[in-house]
Amino acid sequence: MKLELELSRVVLLGRTFEEHARYFCLREQDIRGRKVLDIASGVSSFCAQAAAKHIEVTAFDPIYELTPEEIRIRCDPDLDYVASEIGKVAAYKWDFYRSAEGMRIYRERAYRLFLSDFIKAKNDRYISGKLPQTPFRDGQFDLTLVSYFLFVYDGQFDYEFHRQSLIEILRVTSGEARIYPLVNFKAQRSQWIERIKMDSAFAGWNFEEVKTDFEFLRGSNSFLKIQKLNRAGG
């Protein structure tokens, strides 16, 4: 068995609203009426499904500068590669998806829902850009979510990228930010987490690791919740 899924770049693998809710312990009533930012959202259907529920979510990713057809052309090869290789990797648990084919069903559903919504509402809720910069105002969002990007790609993105990205995320967030998972693709705790917590740039923020009931990549059953100290009672 391989130790990790070998990825030379960030792949286009969409996640559904259900998966996002499991990652971050979210209930619909928790985010209804709040402005939510989903960073590195790619071809996830979280934004599309939220819109159908009349929940305000803005998706942010560099791929949104591409046309729907250009994105679609990338989706299937990325999904084919991951679905064929992931069963050979020891770092995953299959309690939720059951099999690589079960995972593929979720991923394909997500990107098809995304593409349909992207075509209809591209400029309304899909914003193109790349961390560590965003085009958003200070405190524009009540809740910012980042899944399967920061920390998990700690071999591809160095500490300074993580630091500057998190500074920017917290700038545009008035409430709290949540980052999932806290392990990299080797199922090892990311090397940057403790350094981030100790960095003086984040002295005014409270970091809390919150357990979830979801674990696909082994050790991925928690997310990092970040709030201003006065909000967290610190």
pLDDT at 75: 83
pLDDT at 10: 60
Distance, CA of 28 to CA of 99 (rounded, Å):
28
Chain segment 13-59, per-residue pLDDT in tens: 789 999 999 999 999 998 999 999 999 999 999 999 999 999 999 99
pLDDT at 89: 72
Angle at 150 between CA 198 and CA 49, to 5 degrees: 130
What domains, with CATH codes, occur in the chain? 17-232 (3.40.50.150)
pLDDT-flagged residues of the chain (< 70): 1-11, 122, 231-234
pLDDT at 231: 52
